[in-house]
Structure 1
Amino acid sequence: MTVLLIALTGLLTGAGLIIAIGPQNVFILRQAVQRRHVAAVVAVCTVSDLVLISAGVAGLGVLVTAHPAVVTVAKMVGGGYILVLAAMAVRRCLRPTSLNLDEVTAVQANVGRWAAVGTALALTWLNPHVYLDTVVTMGAIANSQSHAGGGSHQKYVFAVGAGLASVLWFAGLGAGAMKLAPLFSRPRAWQVLDGIVAVVMAAMGVALIASV
């Protein structure tokens, strides 16, 4: 039961961090709506997320061995960052906006396969928020699971849950874009989604800081 709870925590945390209106998700939506290189773009975003999450978990694990205080700092920074994300989600919830796919550049809309892959890579690896979300924040939370008692394997269970969130989100976003696009043209849809994100992020941020 504990393993399932940790995996679920990872799943909810990962979902809260990646589900938001951002350039990566908008690009996937646009490509999916036009049915252009969807599988390649989704694969790039998913694999990139898995690599970054794994790096965060493994990297912080190495630092913990030599410098346990690093985790304390990472928890504080990560918890604060999550609370900022929660506040941003609350703000978006109070001031909902619709998703206008026409605002995505025409260059992105008509790119070839390799250009689409390159764009997906750039939107992932050149975005500083990605490193805060996956390497720092996700790594800190994962390692906090191990220190909560139960062994180092718990952080990997958390990582599996977080990775599953990425797989499910990007696959679902790509496969369901034809139906999602009309839905998210309504501000109310984003308001509900951002409300859920705000609750999850606030709970995780408080819990992370409290665990210090």
Structure 2
Amino acid sequence: MATFLAGFALSFSLILAIGAQNAFVLRQGLRREHVGLCVAVCAFSDAVLIATGVIAFGWLSEVMPMLGPVLRYGGAAFLLAYGALSFRNAWRGGEALETSGEARSNPWKIVATLLALTWLNPHVYLDTVILIGSIAAQYGEQRFVFGAGGVLASATFFIMLGYGARLLAPFFAKPVAWRILDVVVGLTMWAIAAGLLLKG
């Protein structure tokens, strides 16, 4: 149990910081659009990444030395473009929160965006495959228990983020709140992208 809780605590603390993926899930939670789908995609992606780190993080870094630069520049380009779209939305004006009626966004577009925000972000690999994988290795045969704790932490976080966002719905009933959110999301995307490029 101690090993499981250690994995849970590490994973939860790593994912807690706001990022491109979290900001997108928060927005969908506020709009109440395909929240379950968002949670499932993010939780499944993290589960695959954590499992990869627990099983073979060392081997991956040896056989694919060019993986880092490719992920860094590709991820930075995507984040810059997505941040620009957020700033454009803020400039055009916010939208009042709608809490009824059918979801407006295309679910396939949401899935594609989430997959890009997740798998094109090098920080995700650093946190899951490298960091969690290297720490899990210290637990020997118990590393899979450690990884299971990390997977559960990720799923718990995204459930809380996606479905808990509705508690903020009264605040986001005003268009100006959406403008503020779009600016924050845009700044977050560009800050992450700048960090990736400056490390290059």
Q: Sort the TM-score into its range (normalised by shorter chain).
A: 0.5 to 0.7
Measure, in 2, the Cα distance between the counterparts of 1:135 and 1:70: 19
**Equivalent residue number for residue 100 of structure 1:** 95
Gaps of 5+ in 2: 1-5, 138-142
**Equivalent residue number for residue 47 of structure 2:** 54
Measure, in 2, the Cα distance between the counterparts of 1:71 and 1:202: 24
**Equivalent residue number for residue 35 of structure 1:** none
The 3 A distance-change label for structure 1 pair 161 and 131 is same
| Amino acid of the structure 2 residue aligned with 1:17 | Q
TM-score, with structure 2 as normaliser = 0.59
| Amino acid of the structure 1 residue aligned with 2:22 | I
Measure, in 2, the Cα distance between the counterparts of 1:165 and 1:29: 16
Measure, in 2, the Cα distance between the counterparts of 1:92 and 1:46: 23
Measure, in 2, the Cα distance between the counterparts of 1:158 and 1:79: 24
The 3 A distance-change label for structure 1 pair 8 and 58 is same
TM-score, with structure 1 as normaliser = 0.57
Measure, in 1, the Cα distance between the counterparts of 2:119 and 2:56: 13
Measure, in 1, the Cα distance between the counterparts of 2:35 and 2:11: 26
Query: 1:48-197 to 2 correspondence within 5 Å?
Result: 48-59=41-52, 62=55, 64=57, 67-69=60-62, 72-88=65-81, 91-92=84-85, 95=88, 96-97=90-91, 98-100=93-95, 110-111=101-102, 122-125=108-111, 127=112, 129-135=113-119, 137=121, 140-141=125-126, 142-146=128-132, 150-152=135-137, 162-184=154-176, 187-197=179-189
How many residue pairs align between the two structures? 181
Measure, in 2, the Cα distance between the counterparts of 1:74 and 1:101: 42
1:19 aligned counterpart, secondary structure? helix
In the TM superposition, residue 19 of structure 1 has moved relative to its aligned partner by: 1.0
The 3 A distance-change label for structure 1 pair 87 and 187 is same
| Amino acid of the structure 1 residue aligned with 2:182 | W
**Equivalent residue number for residue 23 of structure 2:** 19
2:94 aligned counterpart, secondary structure? coil
Identity across aligned pairs (percent)? 9
Range that drifts further, 169-178 or 84-93: 84-93
Summarize deviations over 1:53-75 as a string: whole Å, max 9, x none.
21233246556465444564443
Alignment check: 8 A CA contact 1:46 1:166 kept: yes
Measure, in 2, the Cα distance between the counterparts of 1:73 and 1:155: 26
